[in-house]
Amino acid sequence: MADRVLVTEQLAPRGLDALREAGFEVDERLGLSPDELIEAVEGAAALIIRSATRVTAEVLDAGSQLVVVGRAGIGLDNVDVEAATRRGVMVVNAPQSNVLSAAEHTIALMLAQARNIPQANADLKAGAWNRSRWEGVELHGKTLGIVGLGRVGVLVAQRALAFGMRLSAYDPYVSSDRARQLGVQLVPDLGDLVADADFLTIHLPKTRETIGLIGADVLARAKPTLRIVNTARGAIVDEAALAHAVRDGRVAGAALDVFATEPTTESPLFELDHVVVTPHLGASTAEAQDKAGVTIAEQVVLALNGDFVPFAVNVAAAEASSTVRPFLPLAERLGALFTGLAGGMVDTLEVTYEGQIADYDCSVLTLAVLRGVLGPVVDEPVTFVNAPQLARDRGLNVRETTSSSARSFVNLVTLRGQVGGRAVHVDGTLVGRDDEPRIVGIDDHVIDIPPASHLLIVRNADRPGMIGRVGMIVGGAGINIADMRVGKSPSGEAAMMALTTSSTVPTELVEQLRAEPGILDAKAIELG
């Protein structure tokens, strides 16, 4: 009997045909409830989904014969990848299926905003010939500010050049050399980019740092000719602040495809004549849907046939040696911590493995480090397969070294680099019989703390009362401190505190800490 492939959401016909032609039984069941999914997945060799189906640990447990889960699209928020990896189930996606569609939709919205096309169309169909009312502007000669130079941002930049636009960009995680290759001028400050731009397009992932990034303070820097286009994630733009700026004439207009809450039919932006909106159509092209269906079918066929799968998210984890595999979660979290501390992309990332693990192939650990480093800053899932290319796209050089001897530890993983002349460093290891992950060094301060989901790193003057003051401020804000450790500098000063908290530390609290006498800096870092 042929292996059964369970398809729970609409897939392009060409994708379904490709599965059948490869000899697999296609079991198409749309609109399953969670309980129905658990029943249907029993005995299936593959499960293909889009964004609506949630693949939980319970679903994976029920699918005891699953070899692969395929997501026909980019995002993997609805798949428990960690649980799949534990069960040895491969997870694959179609990461490049909709980037071209998203870039073209950005250009379409830019043109629609510049020439008031939807407004003029609605007026004329309503019987009004308002030729003078909807006078527009040209793209030629205007400055396009690009926030985020990932795959979509680069495609938009390439197309904008054909219109004769001048390109500037804000992306702390792209090297200046890479930007020059693209014909883009990097601007180190977002406010400066907004102040200079005639058009602003946003191409960022939704993270703690990017939510509300385009808010009232940034919009206050805008020229009155600025037009904003967002096809990335809705929460990145403060809709109320943008509506206020457009209404007051501080911003000329906006075009949005995404919103903080979706689906939605209400927003202060919908009331404004100079705002163009679409219902999250960035990936909604026949070509993108077809590419996603065909690509995911190809990946599933390769997985079921035991061949190399180029878009596998977790394949390398399963292939790591038994000695190296326990270090994978630590390596990824060290990478995320490194990016949080750096606040920008280093030119060269030095990854060093010391001790017993240095006698093994640690390349998969370096891939895990890159997943952590790049995950918070790119607009697509970072996998063990695409991580090296994403690093190259951003001008990041990676240098891996090994040493059989380790300082004070049986094994040690170290990340080092420089951002703007400032050194960034983290150390991590596994301790005890249970291989408990620990962060043991931050920026050359000796420390010992678990890599928890929510970290608060505070740099302070070495004087009495600092620990108590930080604890009072954090606790007074209703944030529970799970663990708190003091790190010592090479000279012995207690000049750093690392706290793990039970919930995310809000930006306002970080700013309050930074304003305290004796506190030199504070960073809240999410490790996932």
Catalytic residue (one of 203, 233, 333, 459): 233
Tokens found for residue 247:
């209404």
Please name the residues in contact with 72: beta carbons below 8 A apart, sequence gap of 6 or more.
9, 11, 15, 48, 49, 50, 93, 94, 97, 292, 293, 295, 296
DSSP string, 64-87: TT--EEEESSS--TTB-HHHHHHH
Collapsed DSSP state (helix, strand, coil) of residue 440: strand
* 105 carries an active-site annotation: no
* 233 carries an active-site annotation: yes
Tokens found for residue 504:
């995310």
For residues 384 and 370, give the distance between their C-alpha atoms in angstroms, rounded to a whole number.
Answer: 8
For residues 58 and 118, give the distance between their C-alpha atoms in angstroms, rounded to a whole number.
Answer: 46
Please name the residues in contact with 468: beta carbons below 8 A apart, sequence gap of 6 or more.
none
Catalytic residue (one of 208, 250, 280, 485): 280
* 280 carries an active-site annotation: yes
* Residue environment code for 410-447, b if the CB has 16+ CB neighbours within 10 A, otherwise e: ebbbbbbbebeeeebbbbbbbeeeeeebbbbbbbebbb
Sheet with strand 90-93: strands edge to edge: 25-28, 4-7, 46-49, 68-71, 90-93
For residues 241 and 218, give the distance between their C-alpha atoms in angstroms, rounded to a whole number.
Answer: 10
For residues 68 and 280, give the distance between their C-alpha atoms in angstroms, rounded to a whole number.
Answer: 29
With beta carbons less than 8 A apart as the criterion, state whether 473 and 460 touch.
no
Catalytic residues: 233, 262, 280
